[in-house]
């Protein structure tokens, strides 16, 4: 498969990391395509020439287990059948809704989208605005090794909305923060650089924050259904029920996403450290290297709270997420240990069985 055969895929985000995976594929009847939508028993794909509906091959269904294609995936197809999922460069992943309330079990992974360049954390300047929730979204995105962009919608609800930008910048160090209004299109042009040729963004935020309305304004016409805005709370109704990759006139793509009610973690990378860098830095000055920043003498973090350098609410959110990720990590380690013990138990039983059959 020659590189020039796939130049028509560049506007869909085709890159060398996907091209290199084709070197061992000799079947010329297979062509790459990007997943643009997922439904119960079918998948929408785009091969650069147009969109069509496909299903999984029987072999791939057996091999996939629970890891089915998601929006943003690159797959190999033969006519209307997906035969292979190419390795992803990244994913936006969370714990499936409700996993934190389970008393048993390890929970389930939910991959929201794959092969992304930016994650738009969308927050409305109405009752949805919550700094602690934004910190949680940032941790989720950083855990996945992705680049967050914070978009504050419904700026038209306030006479001086810049105040909210200042608040967010105090807890989102180095993260771009954009103030937009779908009512008069202010701030929309600032989002154009994220939608350049072949770039992919995904929306993340609560229901009713104006994600679909924002997409419509950026596109220039209605491509996503929107609900009426409540005059009482200034909040839109939930309308997006599926994830779809939308090709934008700016040259890039946006993946709309249903509102997220529960921001549960799955990946456990350096998300907390990236979201709360000042607490990590202050922690290096604590008297004890294993300081929990709760009661220990000589805790530099607690001193910062007392001196007004750090708010108690931000510190408590840091502690909460730190505990949660440590719990997830410990459960994973226990699961790995259990698998290893069961494997050696099986090996031991086989050895005993073989020994019992040997004549004396």
8 A C-beta contact, residue 18 and residue 75? no
Residue 194 lies in a domain: yes
Residues in the chain: 360
Angle at 245 between CA 27 and CA 120, to 5 degrees: 130
Strand duo 118-124 + 148-153: pairing = parallel
Q: Summarize the confidence of residues 136-161 as an average pLDDT.
A: 94
pLDDT digits (tens, 9 = 90+) for 50-72: 999 999 988 888 877 667 899 99
- Quick one: pLDDT at residue 40? 82
Q: Are residues 248 and 123 in the same domain?
A: yes
8 A C-beta contact, residue 140 and residue 197? no
8 A C-beta contact, residue 174 and residue 147? no
Which residue, 50, 85, 120, sits at the end of a domain?
Answer: 85
Number of domains making up the chain: 3
Tokens encoding 128? 């949805």
- Quick one: pLDDT at residue 357? 59
**Which band of pLDDT confidence, cut at 50, 70 and 90, is reported for residue 108?**
confident
Q: Summarize the confidence of residues 291-317 as an average pLDDT.
A: 95
Q: Are residues 124 and 243 in the same domain?
A: yes
pTM of the model: 0.83
Q: Are residues 244 and 289 in the same domain?
A: no
CATH code: domain of residue 73? 2.30.30.140
Q: Summarize the confidence of residues 322-329 as an average pLDDT.
A: 87
Which residue, 70, 85, 100, sits at the end of a domain?
Answer: 85
Q: Are residues 182 and 304 in the same domain?
A: no
Residue range(s) defining the domain that contains residue 200: 112-256
Residue 7 lies in a domain: yes
Q: Summarize the confidence of residues 201-213 as an average pLDDT.
A: 90
- Quick one: pLDDT at residue 353? 64
Residue 71 lies in a domain: yes
Residue 144 lies in a domain: yes
Q: Are residues 205 and 233 in the same domain?
A: yes
- Quick one: pLDDT at residue 283? 95
Tokens encoding 156? 């038209």
Q: Are residues 68 and 126 in the same domain?
A: no
**Which band of pLDDT confidence, cut at 50, 70 and 90, is reported for residue 358?**
low
- Quick one: pLDDT at residue 230? 42
Place of tokens 């869909």: 12
8 A C-beta contact, residue 236 and residue 209? yes
Which residue, 47, 69, 85, sits at the end of a domain?
Answer: 85
**Which band of pLDDT confidence, cut at 50, 70 and 90, is reported for residue 356?**
low
Q: Are residues 130 and 242 in the same domain?
A: yes
Is the pLDDT at 339 greater than 60? The verdict is no
**Which band of pLDDT confidence, cut at 50, 70 and 90, is reported for residue 4?**
very low
Look at 92 and 29; give whichever has higher pLDDT.
92
- Quick one: pLDDT at residue 232? 41
pLDDT digits (tens, 9 = 90+) for 233-278: 444 444 555 789 999 999 999 999 887 877 888 877 788 999 999 9
**Which band of pLDDT confidence, cut at 50, 70 and 90, is reported for residue 341?**
low
Minimum mean pLDDT range among 129-133, 151-155, 314-318, 339-343: 339-343
CATH code: domain of residue 325? 1.10.40.50
Q: Are residues 63 and 152 in the same domain?
A: no
- Compute the mean pLDDT over every residue in the chain, rounded to the nearest whole number: 85
- Quick one: pLDDT at residue 342? 57
Q: Are residues 232 and 174 in the same domain?
A: yes
Q: Are residues 120 and 201 in the same domain?
A: yes
Residue 293 lies in a domain: yes
Count CB atoms within 10 A of the CB of residue 109.
Answer: 15
- Quick one: pLDDT at residue 328? 84
CATH code: domain of residue 191? 3.40.50.300
Strand duo 51-56 + 81-85: pairing = parallel
Q: Are residues 294 and 233 in the same domain?
A: no
Residue 135 lies in a domain: yes
Q: Are residues 15 and 45 in the same domain?
A: yes
Residue 92 lies in a domain: no
**Which band of pLDDT confidence, cut at 50, 70 and 90, is reported for residue 91?**
very high
Residue 67 lies in a domain: yes
């Amino acid at each position: 498969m020659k590189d020039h055969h796939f130049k028509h895929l560049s506007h869909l985000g085709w890159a060398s990391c996907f091209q290199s995976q084709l070197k061992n594929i000799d079947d010329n009847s297979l062509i790459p395509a990007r997943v643009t939508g997922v439904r119960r028993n079918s998948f929408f794909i785009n091969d650069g020439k147009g969109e069509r509906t496909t299903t999984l091959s029987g072999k791939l269904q057996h091999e996939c287990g629970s890891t089915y294609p998601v929006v943003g995936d690159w797959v190999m197809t033969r006519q209307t059948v997906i035969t292979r999922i190419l390795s992803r460069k990244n994913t936006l992943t969370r714990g499936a809704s409700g996993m934190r309330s389970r008393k048993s079990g390890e929970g389930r992974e939910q991959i929201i989208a794959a092969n992304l360049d930016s994650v738009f954390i969308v927050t409305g300047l109405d009752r949805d605005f919550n700094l602690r929730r934004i910190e949680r979204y940032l941790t989720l995105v950083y855990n996945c090794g992705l680049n967050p962009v914070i978009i504050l919608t419904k700026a038209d609800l306030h006479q001086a909305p810049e105040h909210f930008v200042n608040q967010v910048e105090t807890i989102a160090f180095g993260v771009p923060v954009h103030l937009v209004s779908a009512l008069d299109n202010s701030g929309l042009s600032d989002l154009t650089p994220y939608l350049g040729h072949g770039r992919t963004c995904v929306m993340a935020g609560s229901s009713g924050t104006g994600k679909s309305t924002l997409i419509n304004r950026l596109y220039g016409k209605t491509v996503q259904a929107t609900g009426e805005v409540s005059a009482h709370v200034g909040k839109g109704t939930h309308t997006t029920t599926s994830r779809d990759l939308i090709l934008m006139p700016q040259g890039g793509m946006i993946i709309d996403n249903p509102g997220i009610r529960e921001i549960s973690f799955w990946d456990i990378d350096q998300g907390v450290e990236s979201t709360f860098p000042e607490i990590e830095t202050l922690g290096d000055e604590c008297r004890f290297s294993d300081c929990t920043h709760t009661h220990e003498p000589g805790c530099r973090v607690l001193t910062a709270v007392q001196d007004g350098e750090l708010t108690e609410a931000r510190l408590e959110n840091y502690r909460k997420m730190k505990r949660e990720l440590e719990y997830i990590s410990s459960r994973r380690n226990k699961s790995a240990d259990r698998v290893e013990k069961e494997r050696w138990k099986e090996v031991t039983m086989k050895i005993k069985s073989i020994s019992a059959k040997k004549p004396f």
